[in-house]
Structure 1
Amino acid sequence: MRLLSPGKGDARLSILIYHRVLPARDPLFPGEVDAQDFERQMRLVQSSFNIIPLADAVRALRNKTLPPRAACITFDDGYADNAEVALPILRRLGIPATFFIATGFLDGGRMWNDTVIELVRAAPGPLLDLEAVGFGRIDVASILQRQQAISSLIGKLKYLPLQERQDRIDAMCDHASLSLPDKLMMTSGQVRELHGAGMEIGGHTVNHPILARLDAKAARREIAEGKEALEGIIGAPVRLFAYPNGKPARDYLAEHVGIVRELGFDAAVSTAWGATASDPDLYQLPRFTPWDQGANKFLLRMGRNLLKRAERV
C-alpha cells in the first residue's frame, strides 16, 4: 500500500462510503454490513492505511502534505444506526469519520427508497398488488423475489422528478395500507452526539434529490438549506458536502460543483470509484465501497482502487 500511495506530492487518498451499519444481518440484504462486519473492516483498513479526518485530508491535499496510505471513512444519508451501532465502534477503535446528512428525514422522516424497501418487506405475500398505482402485481413469495421487487421499484422511481416520485410512493403506501417503521433516520440529538464525539458533519441536501434533475435555483436551495439546518443543529460551520447519489455527469453537473463552491464549502465528494491523485479537484473527491467479505480480497480491492483514475465532470 505504501508503494501505491506514497504520500505528499504523489498522494493518493482513499475515501470509503458506508450508508447503514446494522445491529445484525438482514436476510433481505445479506450484503449490507452489520456491526461485526463493520468492526472487522475498520480493523483491516486501520492495519494498512492511515485513517484521518476528511477535513484534514482536504487541507493536506491542498498543501501537498498528505501522509502515505491516507484513508477517510464517510457515511451518507443520516441513518440512526450510524449513531447507535457505528459510532461506538469508531470511538472504541479511535477512528474519525464524516457523516453526510440529508436534513429532511431527521426526527422521524424516512427516505423514499427505504419506504419502498419496508413496503416490500412488510407485504404479507405471495403477491404485492400495486396495479392500482401503475406497478402491477408483484411476486413476493420468497426472499429472492422480494429483493428483485425492491430493485425493480427503486429503478423505476429513482430518476422521476422529486415531487412525482414522492406522489407515486405516497400512493403506493396509501394503497398497501401497511405499517412502516419511522425511526430509521437520526434525530437531531444524534447528529449533535456525533458532532460532540469529534465526528465531522457534512451537507447532503434536504430531500436527497438528483441535482441534475432540478433547475439551478432549486438545486441551490436544496444544498444551502441543508447546510443551514445542520449548522443550526450542531452550532458550527458545515464545510464538506456529498452529492446525492453522486455519479458525475449523471447525478450532478458542473453547475452544481460551482454552487457548492459558491456556498462556502471547502470540498465535496462524489461516488465515482477511484482514489484522489496528485491533481485533485477538491469539489469532486472520489469515494468507493469495497464489498468483499474475505480480508485478502477486501484489501486487494482497496489496492486496486488506488490505481483507478476517477471520473469527474
Structure 2
Amino acid sequence: MTLNQFIYLVSRPLGSLKLARFLSRNHPKILMYHRITDKPDGEGVSADQFRNHLKIIKKDFRPMTLRDLLTADEHGNVPKNAIVITFDDGYSDFADVAFPILKSEGVPATLFITAGFVNGDIWLWPDKIKYLVSVCSQEDLTRIGSLTQNTVVGVDKKKNWNSICDYCITLDNKKIENFINDMAVATGVQFPKEPPDIYKAVSWSKLREFVESGLDIGNHSLTHPILTKLDEYELIEEINKSRELIKNNLSIDPSVFCYPNGKVSDFDDSVKSKLELLGYKYGVVAFPGENPLENRFEIRRYSADSSHSLFLKTVYGLKYISMVIKNKSPNLVNK
C-alpha cells in the first residue's frame, strides 16, 4: 500500500477530504483530460463520470480557465481552492460530449489543440497505431521483424498498442512515421485518407462557436511530435505554423503552449528558450508538482483519472499532501 493510499484509507472516515481541501487551499489543481465518451466501449472518461467530476468541482472549488489562473497569479491574487480543467489534442468528442457537459454545468475549461490535426492534415500517430492493431491479427503483427524484437506481441490489443507506442516514443519523429508505414506494408493495412470517426478532430467552426461561449484555447503544436527530437527549423515550424492556424481560424494569438506528451524528456531548455523567443509566456507539462505555477515554462498538471477515488485524491489535495510529506517540504503549512 502506498503512502497516499494509507492516508486516504485511514483518514477519510474522519473527514479527510475536507481537511485535505483546507490544507491544499493555496495549491491550484490543474487537471488534464484527453477524451470524454458517451459510449460503453469508448475512449477516455465516461460522460457520466465527467459530469460527476464537474458537480464536485462546482460544489467545493473555484473553477476557472488556465488563462484566468495565470493572470491571477501574475497579480498575486490566485483564489483559494482554484481548479482548472484542461483538455489536450482536440478530438471531435470534445465538441460532441465534453463541451455540452461543461456548458450545461457552467464550468470553464481550456483546450490545447494540435492545429494540424484540427485542420484535417494529419492523424495523430498513436491513433494510426491503434487503428492498425485493431484490424490486425496477432499473426499479422508477428510478421513485422522490428516489432517482435522490441515489443511484446500478444492477444491483448490494448497492451500491443501501448507496447508499440512505448517503442515509438524512443524513436525520432521521422522514424516513427517510417515505422508506422512499414507496419502497414507488412500487415497489408491501408489507412483511410481521413481518420475514422473515433479518431477525428473537432472542427474549426465548432471551436469558433465554443470560443464565443468562453472556451480558452492554447497551442499543442502542429503535428504532436517529440519536440526534443526536432532540429531548430522543425521546432520553429511546429510552434509558428500551429500558431498561425489558430490565429487565422479563431482570431486568437495563444500565449500558452502545451508540450506534446508533456513528460520530462519531451521538452528541454532549448525548447523553452525557443518558445519564449517566439513570444510565448507559458509552457504546460503533463505531470504534477508541489508548486504548479513556480516555473512559467513548466506549468504542472494532474492527470484526471477515471477512478473516482483517485479523482477525489487529486482534487481535494491528498496527492499534494503526499508529495509534501514525501519531499519533507514546509509547503503544507504555508500561507
TM-score category by the smaller chain? 0.7 to 0.9
Name the stretch that deviates more: 18-27 or 280-289. 18-27
Q: In the alignment, is the contact (CA less than 8 A) between 2:45 and 2:306 conserved in 1?
A: no
Residues 78, 101 of structure 1: 8 Å contact kept:
yes
AA aligned opposite 1:39: R
Identity of aligned residues (%): 27
> For the pair shown, which has the larger CA radius of gyration, 1 or 2?
2
| Structure whose residues are more often helix by fraction | 2
Distance in 1, Cα, partners of 2:126 & 2:49: 23
**Alignment of 1:5 onto 2:14:** no
**Do structure 1's residue 197 and structure 2's residue 229 form an aligned pair?**
no
Deviation at 1:73, TM superposition (A): 0.5
Q: 1:275 to 1:16 in 2, by over 3 A?
A: farther
Query: What's the offset of the Cα at 1:14?
Result: 0.8
Give the match for residue 83 of structure 1: 95
Match of 1:223 in 2: 239
Find the residue that maps to 1:76 and give its secondary structure: strand
**In structure 2, which of residues 268, 273, 297 is the aligned counterpart of residue 258 of structure 1?**
273
Contact residue 111 and residue 215 of structure 2 kept, 8 A: yes
Normalization by structure 2: what TM-score?
0.81
Structure 2 unmatched runs, 5+: 1-19, 328-335
Q: Which of the residues 22, 29, 37 maps onto 1:14?
A: 29
Name the count of aligned residue pairs.
296
RMSD: 2.4
The match for 1:281 is 295
Q: Deviations over 1:182-216 (max 9, x none)?
A: 34222222332332221011111111111111223
Once the two structures are TM-superposed, the CA of residue 65 in structure 1 deviates from its matched residue by 0.1
> Does structure 2 conserve the Cα–Cα contact (< 8 Å) formed by 1:274 and 1:305?
no
Call closer, same or farther: CA 1:209–1:246 in 2, change over 3 Å. Answer: same
Aligned residue type for 1:280: E
Question: What one-letter code is carried by the residue in structure 2 that aligns with 1:287?
Answer: R
One-letter amino acid matched to 2:301? R
TM normalised by structure 1 equals 0.86
Q: Which secondary structure does the structure 1 equivalent of 2:134 belong to?
A: helix
Q: Which residue of 1 aligns with 2:263?
A: 247
Aligned equivalents of 2:146 and 2:138: distance in 1? 19
Q: Which amino acid aligns with 2:176?
A: R
1:210 pairs with 2:223 = no
Matched-pair contact (CA < 8 Å) for 2:142–2:153: no
User: Where does structure 1 lack aligned partners over 5 or more consecutive residues?
Assistant: none
Aligned residues of 1:13 and 1:70 also touching (Cα < 8 A): yes
The amino acid across from 2:23 in the alignment is: L
Which of these residues, 61, 78, 83, is aligned with residue 66 of structure 1? 78
Residue equivalent to 2:124: 111
Residues 275 and 305, structure 1, Cα contact 8 Å, conserved in 2: no
Report Cα offsets for 1:118-138 as digits up to 9, x if no partner. 211222x35333524632497
SS at match of 2:214: coil
* Pick aligned residue for 2:107 from 95, 98, 101: 95
Does structure 2 retain, via aligned residues, the 8 Å contact 1:14–1:306?
no
Q: Which moved more, 1:96-105 or 1:126-135?
A: 126-135
Partner residue of 1:185? 201
Q: Quick one: structure 1 residues 292 and 86, their matched pair in 2 at CA, closer, same or farther if it must change by over 3 Å?
A: closer
Per-residue deviation, 1:172: 1.9
Instruction: Note if contact 2:132-2:189 (Cα within 8 Å) is conserved in structure 1.
Output: no
Residue in 1 aligned with 2:319? 305
Q: Is 1:15–1:275's contact at 8 Å kept on the other side of the alignment?
A: no
Partner residue in 1 for 2:9: none
CA 281–121 in structure 1, closer or farther in 2 if over 3 Å, else same: same
How far off is 1:150 after superposition? 0.7
Mapped contact 2:88–2:112 kept (Cα < 8 A): yes
Pair 215,65 (structure 1): closer, same or farther in 2 beyond 3 Å: same
State how far apart, in whole Å, the 1-side matches of 2:170 and 2:49 are.
Answer: 31
Assess if the C-alpha contact under 8 Å between 1:126 and 1:139 holds in 2: yes
Task: Compute the displacement of 1:2 (Å).
Answer: 4.6
Aligned amino acid, residue 58 of structure 2 = Q
